Amino acid sequence: MLTQKVKNPHEYPKVITDLPEAIIQFKGIKAWVLQGEAHQLVFFEMEPHTQVPEHSHPYPQWGIMLKGKMQLTIDGKTQIIKKGDEYVIPAKAKHYASFLTKCRVIDFFSEKTRYKT
């Protein structure tokens, strides 16, 4: 089986960045959306020290950290998420994040209109 290495392991490859880019309201965050009929899978890149303020949504969210480290607070409980860690944010849970390093994260939203492209 023939494989090809990713040219820059700190950025997503073209196969991801060719997806529609999400409209993100925060500086330091880029994202690409894989759209399903009832869900979205979103590939995020965050610059160090970027923050997402506290918010909630009526549906759950699952994510996995591919590269980097973030501080994630869900319903007042803070944890450090690093490469390989998964997390689940329950529906209606208040949460926010601070990205301590450059990060690549994949998030699954059980809502088809979470991000516009």
Residue 61 and residue 107 in contact, taking contact as beta carbons nearer than 8 Å: yes
Residue holding tokens 């994949």?
106
Q: Tens digit of pLDDT for each residue in 39-57?
A: 999 999 999 999 999 999 9
The pTM assigned to this predicted structure is 0.88
As a whole number of angstroms, the distance between CA 54 and CA 39 comes to 22
Rounded to an integer, the average pLDDT of 65-85 is 97
What letter represents residue 22's amino acid? Answer: A
The lowest-confidence range among 4-8, 53-57, 113-117 is 4-8
Of how many residues is the chain composed?
Answer: 117
Q: Does position 36 have pLDDT exceeding 90, yes or no?
A: no
Q: Does position 2 have pLDDT exceeding 70, yes or no?
A: no
Q: Domains (ranges, CATH) in the chain?
A: 16-109 (2.60.120.10)
